[in-house]
Amino acid sequence: MNQEKRESLFSKKYLKLLKKPLNLNNPISVQVLGICSALAVTVQMKPAIVMALSVTVVTGFSCLIISSIRNTIAPNIRIIVQLMVVAALVIIVDQILKAFVYDVSKKLSVYVGLIITNCIILGRVEAFAMGNKPWASFIDGIGNGFGYGLVLIIVSFFRELLGSGKILGHQVIPKALYNAGYINNGLMILPPMALIIIGVIIWIQRSKNPELIDKG
Amino acid sequence: MFSNKYILLYAAATVVLVAFALTLVAVQLKPYQEKNIRIEKIQNILASVNITSSKKDAEELYKKYITKTIVINSEGKEIDSIDAFKIDLAVELKKPIEKRLLPIFICTQDNGEKNYSVPLRGKGLWGPIWGYISFKNDFNTISGAIFDHKSETPGLGAEINTQKFQKQFFQKNIFDNKGNFVSVKALKNMSIKDSHTVDAISGGTITSNGLNQMLFDCLKMYEKYFKQKAK
């Protein structure tokens, strides 16, 4: 059995790692991690997309880096090393946002810094990257980032559409409708509505995937 | 197993490595970040004198319209040799009043009319609010105002940065008929309609009060200068 073939970079196993967090193991709707930032940055789509990308980049690369050095990390300082890598990546992302998409970085304000404390990242690093090869860990990180981002984008889509009548800053609800008495839903732009939308997403997701329903 | 020596060296090496990487990134990106902050400030000043600018043409428009900047102290004396643009009001407000440096940005409009724009900074409900307000050359009538905030409640206090609210300040006066400083206030239900009040935002009472306080405190510092100039 020594002819261990090198798996192709996008073999079924890797694709599964990428896909699973999108639905069956979604960090927000199934693992219920990272809710805090999901409430805060989903008022509009643009910041939500930027946030989703930032988290994906940070999770992907912190998993990659940690996984590549996993055999050199002493177990008693592993959390410190993990956090240092994550924090460094987050600061880099924050600096890049400030330099190139200043207006979005202002809207995201403290939540970029708070990516460090996003449980998704430390969760994946500790649970997956510490025990798997770099490429698999990277894919797993990216997958979880996407899973998080997907929920963020769905939530922000509804919140921006119903809360301000816009999508990505463009007015989509016609003026005629406003003249006919339609009013933007002010509740949509407040955090509680994000929680309710996430609740609805979890509801729909579980009704389609009965295996997710807790037995008991 | 790992020895203590290994662990200590490992930790030290990672820290140095990470510190080096972060320093490199910060130094490389600093010029871009500073440019963004500068452009934002320029856009705010221009907006307060009713000139709309985009990120691209902001610098150009600033050079064209802001023909002069001056710095004064609270006694109304002009102070030379300080760049008004570099003054950060948040820093100045922490100093005792007699040491504060107060910038004024003078805009010459296309028709030759002069507008005088001054910065504002105060407290809202959740965090700082700030803005710029500009006056006609009687140093009394408001020609434009712009406000912004860090974290006011969306849909309520956060409405201070909308055109609808800011437009109300146009043509209001900060001195009464006798020449006393009264500032401009955002009031509930507009029981008094005069040239010193605008309609406050419903549901944003604390933000409106903060805004009133900001206008009063900041403009008060300019009172002496404005009075001298208006004569």
List the domain boundaries for chain A.
Answer: 14-153
- What is the tens place of the pLDDT at every residue in A106-163? 877 778 888 888 888 888 899 899 999 999 999 999 999 999 899 999 999 999 898 8
Q: Which pLDDT score, from 0 to 100, does residue A1 have?
A: 39
Which residues of chain B make contact with A165, given a CB cutoff of 8 A? none
Residue B181 is given by DSSP the state: B
Average pLDDT over residues B94-112: 90
Per the model's pLDDT, the better-predicted residue between A107 and B21 turns out to be B21
Q: Which pLDDT score, from 0 to 100, does residue A2 have?
A: 43
Q: Whole-angstrom Cα distance, residue B89 to residue B44?
A: 14
DSSP symbols for B11-32: HHHHHHHHHHHHHHHHHHHHHH
Q: Whole-angstrom Cα distance, residue B91 to residue A113?
A: 24
ipTM over 0.85: no
Q: Which pLDDT score, from 0 to 100, does residue B86 have?
A: 87
Max Cα distance, chain B (Å): 85
Tell me, yes or no, if B8 comes closer than 8 A to chain A by beta carbon.
Answer: no
Which residues of chain B make contact with A98, given a CB cutoff of 8 A? 29, 33, 36
Q: Are residues A88 and B7, on separate chains, in Cβ contact within 8 Å?
A: no
Q: Whole-angstrom Cα distance, residue B132 to residue B143?
A: 11
Q: Which pLDDT score, from 0 to 100, does residue A7 have?
A: 60
Tell me the β-bridge partners of B134: B117, B144
pLDDT at A178 over 50: yes
Residue B161 near residue B40 (C-beta atoms within 8 A): no
What is the pTM for the complete model shown? Answer: 0.79
Which of A74, A84, A98 lies closest to B6 in CB terms?
A: A74
Of the candidates B160, B156, B103, B97, the one whose C-alpha atom is nearest the C-alpha of residue B129 is B160
A19-23 CB contacts, 8 Å cutoff, 24+ apart: A19/A143, A20/A143, A21/A140, A21/A143, A21/A144, A21/A146, A21/A147, A21/A148, A22/A143, A22/A146, A22/A147, A22/A150, A23/A147, A23/A205, A23/A209
Q: Are residues B14 and A91, on separate chains, in Cβ contact within 8 Å?
A: no
| Sheet strands (E) in A25-165 | none
Q: Are residues B21 and A88, on separate chains, in Cβ contact within 8 Å?
A: yes
